[in-house]
Chain A
Amino acid sequence: MQKLGPVTARIAQMRELVRDRVIAVDAERALNITESYRKNLLVPPIIKRATATYDVCSKMTCRVEEFELIVGNLGTSFLGSGVQPENGFAWFYEEFDGGKLWVRDENGVYHRDDMGTKLSITEEEKDKLYSIRDFWKGRTVSDHMDSWYPDGYEEWCAIGASSYFPGMPIGDLPSGHLTAGYPKIIDVGYAAIRKQAEDWVDAHKGNLMGADVERYMFYKSAILACDAATAMIRGYARACHQKAQGCPEAARRAELQKMGDGLVWISEKPARTFWEAVQATVMYQLLLYMDARYPALAFGRFDQYTWPFLKADLEAGRITMDQAHEIVDAFLLKANCFYRAAPPFLNEIVGVGNTYQHTTIGGVDPDTGEDASNPVTYMVLDSMGRLLLHDPTISIRIHRNTPEDLWERAIEMTKLVGGLPLFQNDEVIIPALVERGFELRDARDYSLIGCQEIVGSGNDYPAPNGTLCKATIHYGVILDMALNNGTNPFNGRSGALKTGYLYDMQSFDEVKAAMKAQVEYFLGWLVTMNNYSEHIAMRESPHAALSISIEGCMESGKDCVCGGAKYNSFGGTATGLATVADSLTTIKYMVFDKKLCTARELYDAYMANWEGHEPLRRRILNDVPHFGNNDPYADEQMKWICDVYYNACGRMHSERSRIYKAGLYGAADHVAQGAHTWATPDGRRTGEPLADAASPAQGRDLHGPTSVFNSELCFDHRHFLDGIALNLKIHPTALRGAEGAAKLRDVTKAYFDGGGMEVQYNVVSADDMRAAQKDPAAYHNLVVRIAGYSAYFVELSTRMQNDIISRTENVL
């Protein structure tokens, strides 16, 4: 095993700052966008939004720190965040008006740190944000959607079985879950993209016929987006040049001068060097962050689009490998600065302490299908390992010819930081994408975003969490309703579909029919609301800054929100289906097959949240076969519910897309969903987490990873192109030495050969975690991963910590 080299002093300094980060919220972006909107109130949204982006980017504070070699900031501070009032910003005022979350310290600074990501704001910035509150009333994107609803929405949403909740804005987040076209930005540059738009505009001046008006406005917005980028990057160039002037140290002065010169260049032109390629990637990411609060903007195949530049630099003797590695360190640390102020409910669902800038490495070459790993692939793994970073999420694409060295390094990283990288199987994913209409070349170029979602790189508007991030219906609640005549026992609310009571069902087939009907009913509603809000979003919230890089948009003159991308899809996820499967197995085993209790007894017991029925609950936990143990009796129900869900998805479509993808992932949502899900027949109590993503229910897989893998293969992974998250916790003793690492590699290879799509390993012990609960300071570096994301353990809520501990350890 290769020893990881040391980092430079300035990287170490930045690492410390990032680890102890408090995100300073400021009002700069909010005030600038408000001023812009005030001036352009009645301008068509596609132009108004792009103009606002230009105004924000040309007025923003640009800074460079002593220790930085990659620049870019979300707010006016090094670790800051502006805010986005234009989609919906009520949460901020509600938090302050509520007066509980933010605590004022003796210096007049407010702090919010109950949810892990620490935020602060000064009195002055807070007052500025209050000054624009009234302006945005009735003017946000969500206000346009929330002013009117399709019939029956309010009743359906009140049931509490989906991402829609009464009173919650339905359009407060744009889709944002995608891989933008970083290679295009780097290889083509803003000036050339702008020229393409300008040429069309010039050619059509005074001659807009048919659908030309829409195209004209799109190209005008594209010009504004390019100008916004150029203005912003020039701002950073000025900051570097100014810093250089005052710099006493010759080498750093030269470096800053060179950074400034490079920024001037990439503000319009294609990158020339590895540094420029990396800096241009970060600048484009920043442009998008200035444009809107897109959640989960992934970096795509970073090793693929930057390596040609490094290769050329190395060949020309312009750079050393150590220097290149420092740039990769700086890039990953910069990504860690991009935390944004967000409301607590988002933290609860997606987990805290994650920027969701999923980065994909490894995999195959789009043209040849041969292994595409390169020195940057290894640098990313080593940087994450030597900096002990849990973010950004790294996915490594595995295929038949993945080199042994790369396997070794990836497992080494798993051992160091726990849970990263995610292992993704090209051999399953690429053919499945081709089956779904991707050209082979594009399928081979896929990347991962968000938690797990599979998307095209720079050519896809995939909306994998729905077009406005309302990803899911809650399958635990739906199960409860299916067995309770369509009434949610958690809140007594009823849906329109009545499917009878468990105790009246005469056969297991009747139980399954009830569940299937409710799944289809709820999914239909979820997609209905998605399609309604997307219809509004197409007019109110086009994304020029994104569209300039997404293949298809500039060619067709259509924004990606309106279907301009080469590939279009949307989708969602079903987290915790193992809880549903185990519940169905329980009914089958206890009531119909073994007749150990009656349906009435079982119903009464879990409807009482098992109170007074502990012996029955324990009997279920101990005797009933559970998913994850390679027991066909239990696995049959998992396959059944996965198929029901997948087939229901097959009937969904929208104005923009024929394809609605199914997924089995969910970050921390299994905890949030569990909190408002009544007890389930599998012995789970009210409020306890559901099973996590595609994993077996917590603590119920008792036979180690090979049995879990065999169980997971009971359903067809190719059906779940929105991604699968299988989270396996491995005791460190299973990984001792080179031999242990080889065994983890081999068990993964065998799983992937069998058709497994994804796995991530969490290498920690329960004792470590209990110790960490008692002494957080001493375990600050303890990184854990929950399906699709990882975080510092000590930053998680106690409930989530306990959830992780309760997962089965693969003890030896």
Chain B
Amino acid sequence: MSSDPAGTIYDIQGFSVQDGPGIRTTVFLKGCPLRCPWCHSPESRRFDIQLSWQSRRCIGTAVCGLCLVSCPRGAIVPAEGSQSTDTEDGLQLIRVDWDTCDDCGLCAAECPAGALSMWGKRYTVSEVVDRALRDRPFFEKSGGGVTISGGEPLSQAEFTLALLRALKENGLHTALDTTGFAPWAVVEKALPHVDLFLLDLKNMDGRAHNAAVGVPNQPILENARGIAAAGGKMQIRIPVIPRFNDSGGNLRALGKFVAELGEAVTLVQLLPYHALGVPKWERIKHDGPILEATAPSDKKIGELKAILEEYSLTIQVH
């Protein structure tokens, strides 16, 4: 193992106030084994660095056009028809032929406007720690720290474990925002360095879970029990997805399961589905079905919250 391993990160966000206690810096790791159609960070799914195309930033081929000549595979071409002038200024835009593109990044390096850019960048552990330490006074004042999120951070196990260790060595509070889908051996290694797990639980029906997100829920539930048994602390996060997991029956099953985890669970958060991720899909190569739904009503969320409260849990709606 390298002494300063590198990982692929797609964003580092300061003043993160909704991913764990206090003021935090959240490090978003790229790559996820799950394929949730409602994913609001579709750029986090693939493990490799990938191209992003944002028409709103393009300044048009008339004054620029650098990308057209930069692509060795001819994957960038002038857009035609309704997509050719996406902006109010009537610029001639480009189109990315996603089937031809191999995410080599040559066009993004040429693009002066940031319209073509790369999702994902390699960072070493020490680079991330340096960045986080700049905000130490804000962490200390607020009881905050660093949250490692994704993607699924445990999928980049070596990097994540090294990062967690380094953060703890610097005396920072650590939170790990995870789908819980990882080998127990990895979770077990992370445990001593994680002050708080932010663990997603979606559906207690294993078949429905597998059908929707592509992996079974059994390892996730096992890991949750394992963390509890080992004395870890968890916030359980339940995304509320219309027609997938918003039935009373599922919430009861979740409530029962979470209640059985006992004092390990400090808080249960309901995360109502929102459509803010949908426009991001337009920017990247599609790799699965996309859910576009109406956000659950406050009334509906209130009902689900009431169900969970029957299990004597502390519930917070985000």
Contact = CB atoms under 8 A, between A and B. Distances in A.
A812 B26 CA distance: 11
A248 to B, nearest CB: 50
B22 A707 contact: no
A733 B113 CA distance: 29
B15 A705 contact: yes
A754 interface: yes
B137 A753 contact: yes
Top 6 nearest A-B pairs (CB, nearest first) are A746-B142, A704-B15, A619-B112, A750-B141, A618-B112, A618-B113
A709 B137 CA distance: 11
A144 interface: no
A118 interface: no
Contact of A615 (B16, B18, B112): B112
A614 B64 contact: yes
Contact of B137 (A740, A743, A750): A750
Contacts of A374: none
B243 interface: no
A740 B113 CA distance: 35
A614 B59 CA distance: 8
B59 A746 contact: no
B14 interface: yes
A630 B59 contact: no
A710 B23 contact: no
B135 A746 contact: no
Contacts of A703: 13-15
20 contacts: A614-B59, A621-B114, A622-B113, A703-B13, A703-B15, A704-B14, A704-B15, A706-B15, A706-B134, A706-B135, A707-B135, A710-B135, A743-B142, A746-B23, A746-B142, A750-B23, A750-B140, A750-B142, A812-B16, A812-B18
Given A614-B63, A614-B64, A615-B64, A750 B17 contact: no
A746 B22 contact: yes
Interface of B: 13-18, 22-23, 25, 59, 63-64, 66, 112-114, 134-135, 137-138, 140-144
B92 to A, nearest CB: 14
B166 to A, nearest CB: 20
B181 to A, nearest CB: 25
Contacts of A746: 22-23, 138, 141-144
A615 B15 CA distance: 32
Nearest to A742: B142
A709 to B, nearest CB: 8
B177 to A, nearest CB: 14
A616 B142 contact: no
B59 A743 contact: no
B275 to A, nearest CB: 14
The contact size tier of chain A is: 20 to 34
A621, A706, A749, A812, most chain B CB atoms within 10 A: A706
Contacts of B59: 614-615, 618
A648 interface: no
Nearest to B114: A622
B114 A618 contact: yes
B65 to A, nearest CB: 9
B15 A710 contact: no
A621 to B, nearest CB: 8
Given A747-B15, A747-B23, A812-B18, A616 B138 contact: no
A546 to B, nearest CB: 42
Contacts of B18: 733, 812
Contacts of B63: 612, 614-615
Nearest to A754: B137
A90 interface: no
Contacts of B64: 614-615, 618
Nearest to A613: B63
A76 interface: no
A753 B17 contact: no
Nearest to B15: A704
A129 interface: no
Contacts of A618: 59, 64, 112-114
Given A614-B63, A750-B137, A753-B137, 5 more contacts: A618-B112, A703-B14, A707-B14, A746-B22, A812-B17
A644 interface: no
A590 B246 CA distance: 54
Contacts of B143: 746
Nearest to A737: B316
A740 B134 CA distance: 22
Given A742-B142, A747-B138, A750-B140, A616 B13 contact: no
A220 to B, nearest CB: 57
A742, A747, A812, most chain B CB atoms within 10 A: A747
A810 interface: yes
Contacts, number: 83
Nearest to B115: A618
A734 B15 contact: yes
Nearest to B131: A630
Interface in A609-642: 612, 614-616, 618-619, 621-623, 630
Given A705-B15, A734-B15, A754-B137, A743 B114 contact: no
Contacts of B141: 746-747, 749-750, 753
Nearest to B64: A615
A616 B17 contact: no
B211 to A, nearest CB: 32
Interface string A720-748: 00000000000001100001101100110
B112 A743 contact: no
A630 B137 CA distance: 14
A750 B135 CA distance: 9
A714 to B, nearest CB: 12
B86 to A, nearest CB: 17
A739 B114 CA distance: 35
A622 B113 CA distance: 7
Contacts of B23: 706, 743, 746-747, 750
A203 to B, nearest CB: 60
A343 B108 CA distance: 51
Nearest to A632: B134
B13 A704 contact: yes
Contacts of B140: 750
Interface string A574-611: 00000000000000000000000000000000000000
A210 B66 CA distance: 81
Contacts of A707: 14-15, 134-135
A812 B147 CA distance: 14
Nearest to B137: A750
A613 B137 CA distance: 42
A609 to B, nearest CB: 14
B138 A706 contact: yes
B66 A615 contact: yes
A596 to B, nearest CB: 10
Interface string A73-114: 000000000000000000000000000000000000000000
Contacts of A739: 17
Contacts of B113: 615, 618, 622
A743 to B, nearest CB: 5
A707 B25 CA distance: 11
Contacts of A747: 15, 23, 138, 141-142
Nearest to B18: A812
B14 A706 contact: yes
A743 B14 contact: no
A812 B40 CA distance: 13
A798 B113 CA distance: 26
A618 B60 CA distance: 12
A750 B22 CA distance: 12
Contacts of A753: 137, 141
Given A707-B14, A746-B23, A616 B112 contact: yes
Contacts of B137: 750, 753-754
A812 B25 CA distance: 12
A279 B135 CA distance: 48
B134 A710 contact: yes
A623, A739, A743, most chain B CB atoms within 10 A: A743
A709 B140 CA distance: 15
